[in-house]
Chain A
């Protein structure tokens, strides 16, 4: 079934630990995105990739890094987690940057 998968579904993490959130899509979309969603706030863009091999910074990139080695995968890494990174993280993809974005099921991350 075509779509976007994310892993893990949820995670509790100690502050200071390193964590990678995984995102894979099988729609051959060129563009991929990472958002965080916090209560009372709109989705905020962390990083994006317009095409494989390129990445860019969004609105809230500090403390996060991404890579885009191929079309399908777009992992998000927290180098040293802090409690303010507690959030729900959504990965999304679109055929190109001008097209509709489709979302993965999300990862609920708690940093203690």
Chain B
């Protein structure tokens, strides 16, 4: 079956760095997405990786290793507004997104 695993909850301190991991097993792979979702709101797109390596976008970076079925989202210089859930999703062989349950990130002052 298809499976996306990510930690349920993480806590970090304002100004620090946090890494959110995602492992996947899917039928086919056409890219991996990270979305941010604030409580009560819609998911918003953060990043997309289809090749191995690191993609950097401001304070956020995303890494992919296809051979290991592994990705991480790295958030630097954490701000209180980064408190949200972070969703990992893999595009499978039919280009349908398979979603993880999300990681709730709590930022403490």
Q: How many A-B residue pairs have CB under 8 A?
A: 41
Flag A71-112 by CB within 8 Å of B: 1 or 0 each.
000000000000000000010000001101111111000000
Flag B87-100 by CB within 8 Å of A: 1 or 0 each.
10101000111111
B residues within 8 A CB of A100?
Answer: 33, 45, 48
Q: Out of B44, B96, B98, B102, which one reaches A48, CB within 8 Å?
A: B96
Q: Does chain B have a CB within 8 A of A42?
A: yes
Within 8 A of A (CB), among B40-69: 41-45, 48
Q: Does chain A have a CB within 8 A of B30?
A: yes
B residues within 8 A CB of A105?
Answer: 41-42
**Secondary structure of the B contact surface, majority rule:** strand
Q: When the two chains form their complex, are residues B30 and A98 in contact, meaning their CB atoms are under 8 A apart?
A: yes
Interface size on B, residues (CB 8 A): 20
Q: Out of B30, B41, B45, which one reaches A102, CB within 8 Å?
A: B45
When A43-B87, A103-B42 are in contact, do A97 and B97 touch as well, CB less than 8 Å? no
Interface size on A, residues (CB 8 A): 18
B68 CB to nearest A CB, Å? 21
When A48-B96, A98-B30, A100-B48 are in contact, do A42 and B4 touch as well, CB less than 8 Å? yes
For the complex of A and B, the 3 pairs showing the least CB-CB separation, nearest first, are A42-B99, A103-B42, A43-B99
13 intermolecular pairs with C-beta atoms under 8 Å apart: A40-B101, A42-B98, A42-B102, A43-B43, A43-B89, A43-B97, A48-B96, A97-B95, A98-B30, A101-B33, A101-B97, A105-B41, A106-B42
Residues on A facing B (Cβ under 8 Å): 40-45, 48, 58, 90, 97-98, 100-106
